[in-house]
Structure 1
Amino acid sequence: MGVLRSLRVGLDFLYRLAEFIAALCMIAILALIMLQMLARWSSEVFPGAPEYAAYFMAAASFMGFAAALNRGSHIRVSLLLNAVGPKMKRYVDIWCFAVASATMWYFVWHARQFVYWSWKFNDVSQAQDRTALWIPQSVMIIGGALLAIALTDSLINLIFKGENRISHDNIETQEV
């Protein structure tokens, strides 16, 4: 049982770390916007700032997906889950997590190939920043893999324990 406990602690730490990185990316976006405003006011040029902000926005989104899932911030089809009976609710939930997990692992597999070919051909941004595209694309794979792990984690937890790993922080999303 110690291995499972350490695995749970490790996964929860990984989800929190990704959430922290997503928050840092949001702060980086704010800093880039402020620096671009200062550059405009001082008649200077800050080339590539919108592109870097977009890269950080994608990184913030993908790195925050797993933590958002575990906190109940993703949109779920709770109308369907509430419409079926208590016995069917578990099976529908298992089916939803299984489809979502398979879809995310499929995405991660093909995104990995996409990043590999961007690296292999030395694909760079066409904008002023000339960034090697495999760098921001790699963050997409990491965040996607974390979401796939979180979905699989919830699926396994739902199958063996009868409950998913989604907690509800918001009062509006809690069932009465």
Structure 2
Amino acid sequence: MPARPEALTRTLVSRIDALCTAAAVLGAACLAGLFLLILSEVLARNLLGQSLAFSWDFAAYGMGCCFFLSAANTMKNSGHVRVTVLFELLPPGPARIAEGVACVLGMLVSLALVYALGDMAWLSYVRGSTAASVVKTPLWIPQSLMTLGALVFVLALVAQFLRVLLGEGHVDRPDIEDAL
């Protein structure tokens, strides 16, 4: 007997959620590395009287990667800032439709971001672009990680849209106020 569409949808949402968690772990690793880098910079300046040549570049890469890689998991856990006044004013059916529309619009904007970041990373790779700093970091590496994070965010929006279709969106959850 073939699997029911609802079961397949729940499996897909579950796999996307796992991917969001994995991206968040990578984002947390970037944050931990950023902390160690800044700590090393502070110690080097105060104890050795000189700066680490690569610290500012790597700090910027780490922040970008941390932001993009963590966005999907934040979405999954209802951690993004939401304007709920519309959902509170609408009856459940129209509120669910509004949430679905918001997911689709978010996907479109995020797909444009994925395209732009991916194109930038690809051009950096093809051109052999490196940072203007002493370290000469190949720019496609941090740009690719940011692209990956943005892509996982798109998938998180897909999962949220599927949750709305299953009747499990933010509007349908009475506990959502605790997360907001």
TM over 0.5: yes
Partner amino acid for 1:38? L
Which consecutive unaligned segments of at least 5 residues does structure 2 have? none
**Range moving further from structure 2, 6-15 or 133-142:** 6-15
Is structure 2 residue 39 aligned with structure 1 residue 34?
yes
Aligned equivalents of 2:156 and 2:41: distance in 1?
36
Q: 1:121 to 1:153 in 2, by over 3 A?
A: same
Alignment-derived partner of residue 92 in structure 2: 86
Alignment-derived partner of residue 7 in structure 1: 12
1:9 Cα offset (Å): 3.8
Alignment-derived partner of residue 125 in structure 1: 131
Aligned partner (choices 10, 19, 26) of residue 21 of structure 1: 26
Alignment-derived partner of residue 67 in structure 2: 61
Aligned equivalents of 1:67 and 1:38: distance in 2?
33
Contact kept, 8 Å, 2:96 with 2:169, in 1: the verdict is no
Alignment-derived partner of residue 153 in structure 1: 159
The two structures have a TM-score, normalised by structure 2, of 0.85
Partner amino acid for 2:102? C
Alignment-derived partner of residue 145 in structure 2: 139
Q: Deviations over 1:6-34 (max 9, x none)?
A: 53443222111111111111111110011
Alignment-derived partner of residue 105 in structure 1: 111
Paired residues, what number?
Answer: 172
Q: 1:170 to 1:128 in 2, by over 3 A?
A: farther
Q: 1:169 to 1:60 in 2, by over 3 A?
A: farther
Aligned equivalents of 1:87 and 1:3: distance in 2?
24
Higher relative contact order (CA 8 A, sep 6+): 2
1:127 Cα offset (Å): 2.7
**Range moving further from structure 2, 143-152 or 18-27:** 18-27
1:50 Cα offset (Å): 1.3
Alignment-derived partner of residue 75 in structure 1: 81
Aligned equivalents of 1:59 and 1:172: distance in 2?
24
Aligned equivalents of 2:177 and 2:127: distance in 1?
46
